[in-house]
Structures are given as structure tokens and as C-alpha cells.
């Protein structure tokens, strides 16, 4: 019976990790805004981190929240580039590719001029697209924030996209669950011994 308790405790630890393992990058919906024609425009705020396995990040559920039309709310493809080269920011150019720090890539996954997903690229992470690729699709150059937290607000008042170079240092819920499950498993084994 002692062996069964140990197996149960270890199994619960592995299952807890498998069930609650996840990512930090996410979006949060805002209240909808009327489009004046019986439909509505969805709003949402996204926080993205340097997590290579997350991208492409699918925005469809936020774009169509509450039954909103994808066609009315889809995003325009293109790139948002953060660089620490002030000349590129001032001139809206990409002449210093080595200075690019983060890139939001809204690809044309819906075909033509429509996007419902985003990639985040950074040095040492997923490959930053070539300058020629970004120039062909269209881009906006913004100054890189030394704190590693960049915010892109398209100016429509309905969306913000934040790229944070630093993953949060607080324990993830799965870590806390593992500690709880481990304690519970230990309690079960100790009770069986008594």
C-alpha cells in the first residue's frame, strides 16, 4: 500500500504540471463600441512576452468577442518595429537593422489586407524579418524603451499591444499547485504510515 501512495503522489505532481502548464502572454477584452450601423467594434489589450512557443498568437477570439464580425474588426497586416536607433525612428526608416529590438508582425493570414494573428520577434528569439520583407508589407518604427516594455497603441482607442522583454518573476500558478500537490502527497503517505 505504501508503494501505491507514492505512485499516486508522483502522478498527481506530473498531472498538475501537465494541466496547468501555460504561457504568460495574453489579451483582455474591453467593452464593445457601437459602429453606428447596428454592429460593434471590439476592443482588447494584449501583453506579449518573449515566449517563442506562443507565436503566432491567435487574436480571433478577441476580434470576434460577443459575436462581432471578423470582417469589420480584422487587423491590417504590417510590422511595428522598436529600435534603439533614434535616426530610424525620426526618419521612419530601417537603415540600422542591428538596432532592432522587438517586432510585432501582423501577418496577412486572412489573405490580402487582413490579419487575425500576431508574431513577436526579438534578437535571440524568433528571427526578425528581413528589412526587405518589412518594407514590402509596411511598417511603423518606434523608439525602444530601455526598461524593455514597449506599448503600441494604433490610435483607434480600441486596442493596445504591449511587448515586455522580461517574463514576470512571480511564481506561476502551476508552480504553486505543484507545491500544494507535493504537500498533499506527503500528507497522504504520512497518514498511511500511521
Nearest alpha carbon to residue 185 among 62, 12, 3, 2: 12
∠ CA 134-57-66, rounded to 5°: 120
C-alpha span between 172 and 183 (Å, rounded) = 17
C-alpha span between 30 and 45 (Å, rounded) = 7
Q: What is the pLDDT along the chain (194 residues), one digit of tens a residue?
A: 554 443 334 434 333 333 344 679 999 999 988 888 888 899 999 999 999 999 999 999 999 998 899 988 999 999 999 999 999 999 999 999 999 999 999 999 998 789 999 999 999 999 999 999 999 999 999 999 999 999 999 988 899 999 999 988 755 555 544 445 554 454 454 555 55
User: Is-contact 42 63, C-beta < 8 A?
Assistant: yes
User: Is-contact 35 42, C-beta < 8 A?
Assistant: no
The pTM (predicted TM-score) of the whole model is 0.74
Measured from the Cβ of residue 171, the count of other Cβ atoms closer than 10 Å reads 11
Coil/strand/helix, residue 181: helix
101-122 confidence digits (pLDDT tens): 999 999 999 987 899 999 999 9
DSSP state of 129: P
Quote the pLDDT of residue 191.
Answer: 56
Amino acid at each position: 500500500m505504501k508503494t501505491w501512495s507514492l505512485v499516486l503522489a508522483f502522478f498527481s505532481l506530473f498531472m498538475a504540471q501537465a494541466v496547468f502548464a501555460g504561457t504568460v502572454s495574453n489579451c483582455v477584452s474591453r467593452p464593445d463600441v457601437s459602429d453606428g450601423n447596428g454592429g460593434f467594434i471590439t476592443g482588447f489589450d494584449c501583453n506579449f512576452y518573449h515566449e517563442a512557443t506562443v507565436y503566432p498568437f491567435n487574436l480571433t477570439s478577441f476580434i470576434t468577442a460577443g459575436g462581432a464580425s471578423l470582417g469589420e474588426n480584422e487587423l491590417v497586416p504590417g510590422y511595428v518595429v522598436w529600435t534603439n536607433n533614434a535616426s530610424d525612428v525620426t526618419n521612419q526608416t530601417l537603415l540600422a537593422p542591428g538596432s532592432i529590438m522587438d517586432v510585432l508582425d501582423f501577418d496577412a493570414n486572412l489573405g490580402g489586407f487582413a490579419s487575425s494573428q500576431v508574431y513577436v520577434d526579438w534578437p535571440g528569439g524568433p528571427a526578425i524579418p528581413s528589412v526587405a520583407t518589412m518594407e514590402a508589407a509596411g511598417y511603423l518604427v518606434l523608439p525602444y524603451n530601455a526598461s524593455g516594455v514597449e506599448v503600441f497603441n494604433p490610435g483607434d482607442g480600441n486596442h493596445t499591444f504591449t511587448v515586455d522583454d522580461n517574463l514576470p518573476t512571480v511564481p506561476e500558478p502551476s508552480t504553486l499547485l505543484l507545491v500544494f500537490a507535493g504537500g498533499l502527497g506527503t500528507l497522504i503517505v504520512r497518514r498511511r504510515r500511521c
